[in-house]
Structure 1
Amino acid sequence: MAPISLILSFFLFISPALSTNSEGNALHALRSRFKDPTNVLQSWDPTLVNPCTWFHVTCDSNNHVIRLDLGNSNISGTLGPEVGQLQHLQYLELYMNDISGKIPKELGNLKSLVSMDMYQNKLEGEIPKSFANLKSLKFLRLNNNKLTGSIPRELTTLSDLKVL
């Protein structure tokens, strides 16, 4: 029987890979929702354990996805709840594309988010009230979409928000 310390060491060794793999799974699920006529997402290979090698994805020193740069990439499709699984994400850049549908309320789970740029798309519906959970958010750009309703009152609790 293997000593407990050996088993514990094994789990400590693979735990970063497991967390990045879940981020890779979330990004791959997002990719499957997009049409990508110019192949900007061709490097997003789900068989790689680590999405940090993919183009348009930036990671920190712990291999956590902190930035998604797909602004002006000629992609279309919809956003899904899987984006909310990128718990270390700080920058979400999806501006100037043809992304449509509603903004998933799960984006409110991105507690480390500093900037969300999704302007000039075809997003519709209301701004989710869950955005009030984004206490680190400084920049929220949603202009030039097909959004309806008013800006949620809950967003007034975001003391760091500089641009709305």
Structure 2
Amino acid sequence: MAKDSSFDIVSDVNMQEMDNSVNQAMKEIEQRYDFKGSKAQIVLEKDSLKLNAEDDYKINAMLDILRGKMIKRGVSIKCLNPGKIENAFSGTLKQDVEIQKGLSKEKAKEVAAYIKELKLKVQAQIMDDKVRVSSAKKDDLQLVIQNLKSKDFGVDLQFINLR
């Protein structure tokens, strides 16, 4: 009897590359003419970013710079979930940006439902923050990966543990 093959669908962020992106963005911000003398800063915390600046133009510009650095370092910009721009202390503004790690229950259900719609002989199983797909045929698994890559779920998907 042939053993089932499987792989996992996850949405993960390389935090070391995220840290490097933040550091590069801060270097560029410090050198840019439109940021001279400003209190603009990006702080990377465990699962979020804190942006501080004098006005919303600078906060949006900082976010654009950060996204550019993330793209160059191979970090998906889909993991960023910017919050509202709010007032902070001494006339500055702040924005909290959540870094999404893992698949939420809703996204996992959406991915599993899409896999079922493909009508291939595969089983999709939701496991915490990932989806495991198994089948007797590796070709079917590769078709699932191909179809998932062509559809946008709003998060960056990685395919790991192909066995």
Q: Classify the TM-score, shorter chain.
A: under 0.3
Name the larger-Rg structure. Answer: 2
TM-score, normalization by structure 1: 0.26
The structure with higher relative contact order (CA 8 Å, sep 6+) is 2
Return the structure number with greater strand share: 2
Return the structure number with greater helix share: 2
